[in-house]
Amino acid sequence: MHRDSLCTMNTRLIHSRGHTLLELSIALALGLLILAASLSVYRAQRAGFERAADAAHIHDAGVGALDLVAQQVQMAGFSAAGATDAPLFGCSQARVTGAETSASCESLASHSDGLQVRYAADTVSTWPSTSGTPTDCIGQTVSDAFVFNRYYAKPSTSSGEPELYCEGGGRQAQPLVEGVERMRVVYWIAGAPAALDASAIARERWPDVYAAEVCVLVRGAAIQAKRRANYVDCDGAPAVSDDGRTRMAFWRTVGIRNARGAS
């Protein structure tokens, strides 16, 4: 073969190879761009899904906690014998302790309010056990004439997550709803122009409480890194969550059906 022909073929081959490498480089660059865009979309969708799941968890916890406490408040004071003792007793930023009829308050680091609910222990006002015995809020059998259930919120000693607790008549507390960081309760009392904190109510005036405004502050489980979120706390004041957790407050006003001052 002629030398000039060989040179021409080699030149074409080199040009062909160079063109192929250029196309390969472009294809790789486009592939990397598509991969980066896909990862960005995936991360955004996953973050959106986690936020939606966290919001659903917060809503379920808040509504569930309010339903539990509201049901108990409505039952407060129920007694076939028409007892005149206070259906409710509360503590500001503390849990209820001591004997049921002379309860006192023990401060909580969570700043949660505490609430004691009292009503007749029978198979109508409580869920009966398998043996037909009245039970308290955590399923323990009650042998006394009245049920005393105590509610408050605090972090779990095992997981550190905040939870709504109930302490039954057996002096044992069990978590009921996870995520409840704080419970806030104010009370309507006969003759008062506005709802009062528990600390503002004299012991002899508790039988005159006819309604309670209950709020639970729920903290989300998902941590959103470097994300600050605004929310309204249980006092109705604006607050900022700077630990990456979403928070939401839930309120409900509940009338005490069997209160002395109820109409």
Q: Mean pLDDT lowest for which of 182-196, 205-219, 249-263?
A: 249-263
Provide the pLDDT confidence category of residue 202 given band limits of 50, 70 and 90: very high
CA-to-CA distance for 166 and 183, rounded, in angstroms? 12
Judge whether residue 32 has pLDDT over 90: no
Whether 150 shows a pLDDT value over 90: the answer reads yes
Structure confidence by residue, pLDDT tens digits, 216-254: 999 988 777 667 888 999 999 999 988 888 899 999 999
Q: Where are the domains of the chain?
A: 59-255
Sequential DSSP letters for 139-183: S-B--SSEEEEEEEEEE-TTT--EEEEEE-TTS-EEEEEETEEEE
